[in-house]
């Protein structure tokens, strides 16, 4: 009888480990596509040249977008967007190494970077935001808009 209990308990633990691994993979790795080689971004009604673009996006949710790049004309890029002082970058899977949401948020709060809304309704119910630094470093992400705020 004790052997049967051990087998049942082992099966439950094994199933939990498999389920947990699958859930972690679905949240952190699955449904993301690595994006590189983009040479321009649209802010408002203008396209801006960028270099070194790397990031991720996904077809399952517009909120999966994360981008890291350098914009050639940061002052003009900031002027083309709408000020977004309350923009907060979303958490990012660890493997997207260029996007550190804590550092970006800290820099936005301290005034070392400027947050703008670069585009409205960029995907189903999401607006495009960017943090742009005076030296040209820039980061992009999407946040839910009024369609999903409730």
pLDDT score recorded for residue 1: 55
Structure confidence at residue 30 (pLDDT): 60
Report pLDDT for 24: 61
Burial class of residue 100 (count of CB atoms within 10 Å of its CB; 0-12, 13-18, 19+): middle
Question: CA-CA-CA-CA torsion for 87, 90, 91, 92, nearest 10 degrees?
Answer: -120
pLDDT for position 9: 79
Nearest to 98 by CA among 71, 50, 144, 66: 66
Decide: 92 and 112 in contact? Cβ < 8 Å: no
What integer pLDDT is reported at residue 27 of this predicted model? 58
Q: Rounded CA gap, 132 and 134, in Å?
A: 7
CA distances (Å), origin 32, targets 24, 71, 73, 135: 13, 24, 29, 29
Taking only the tens of pLDDT, the chain with its 150 residues reads 568 878 877 778 877 777 776 666 665 656 788 888 899 999 999 999 999 999 998 888 888 899 999 999 999 999 999 999 989 999 888 888 899 999 999 999 999 999 999 999 887 789 999 999 999 999 999 998 877 666
């Amino acid at each position: 009888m004790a052997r049967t209990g051990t087998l049942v308990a082992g099966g439950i633990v094994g199933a939990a480990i498999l389920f947990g691994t699958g859930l972690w993979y679905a949240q952190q790795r699955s449904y993301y596509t690595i994006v590189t080689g983009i040479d321009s971004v649209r802010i408002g009604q203008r396209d801006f040249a960028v270099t070194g673009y790397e990031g991720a996006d996904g077809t399952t949710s517009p909120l999966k977008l994360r981008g890291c790049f350098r914009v050639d004309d940061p002052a003009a890029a900031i002027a083309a967007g709408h000020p977004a002082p309350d923009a907060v970058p979303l958490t990012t899977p660890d493997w997207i190494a260029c996007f550190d949401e804590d550092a970006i948020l800290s820099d936005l709060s301290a005034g070392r970077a400027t947050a703008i809304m670069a585009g409205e309704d960029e995907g189903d119910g999401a607006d495009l935001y960017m943090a742009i630094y005076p030296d040209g470093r820039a980061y992009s992400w999407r946040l839910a808009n009024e369609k999903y705020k409730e």
